[in-house]
Amino acid sequence: MEKPTLENVLAELQQHFGSNILAVEQDYDFHTVHISKQHIVTMLRYLYDHDTFRFQYLTTACGLHYPDAERPFGMMYQVHSLTTNLRLRFKAFTTASDLEFDTLTTVFPAANWMEREAFDFFGFHFKGHPNLKRILNVEDMDYHPLRKEYPIEDATRYDKDDTLFGRRPAGYDRKRLQP
């Protein structure tokens, strides 16, 4: 059989999941398939079990936050087929009121730590995850630092006047700068 191409994969996905695929984007030679979050596991499981495509390697997965978008929060998954050397990216977006995703650990054990990271930094919950707790930040941290509503800078600094750096953040309080 001829070596399968990404076009074959996309055509097959289109045929099997048709209406569940919201959009297909292409950045250079990398394709991104936008889906809704309840189809992540079934779609990646299908590609994993497929006889010829065999997308059996989860390169990476991470959380996303675009604060101005209509559906600001999302997960991104990148899969790789080691037999056909094809790569594909999936994105699923959701609203702030519904931050629960199905865990992908049932398909890829490697998703365990990646989902813990997404929980740690964005506060997403993964239904069925075996050990959903913080992985990189200190255990007693009380917020999810990569959400855009939180400042990236350390909150314990009082010696830095933002106006000297040409910026005045939202919620700027001159009093905070006093020791």
137 near other proteins, rule: CB under 8 A? yes
Using the minimum distance from each CB to other proteins, give the nearer residue, 30 or 143.
Answer: 143
Q: Of 42, 26, 143, 129, which Cα lies nearest the Cα of 87?
A: 26
178 near other proteins, rule: CB under 8 A? no
> Residue type for 176, please?
R
β pairing state of 100-102 and 30-35 = unpaired
Using the minimum distance from each CB to other proteins, give the nearer residue, 150 or 172.
Answer: 150
Q: Which part of the chain contacts other proteins (CB under 8 A), choosing from 60-68, 94-102, 106-114, 134-142? A: 134-142
| Strand residues in the chain grouped as ranges (E) | 21-27, 30-35, 57-65, 73-81, 86-94, 100-102, 125-127
Print the binding letters for residues 158-177 with other proteins: x by CB under 8 A, - otherwise: --x-----------------
Q: Which residues bind other proteins (CB under 8 A)?
A: 136-138, 145, 150-157, 160
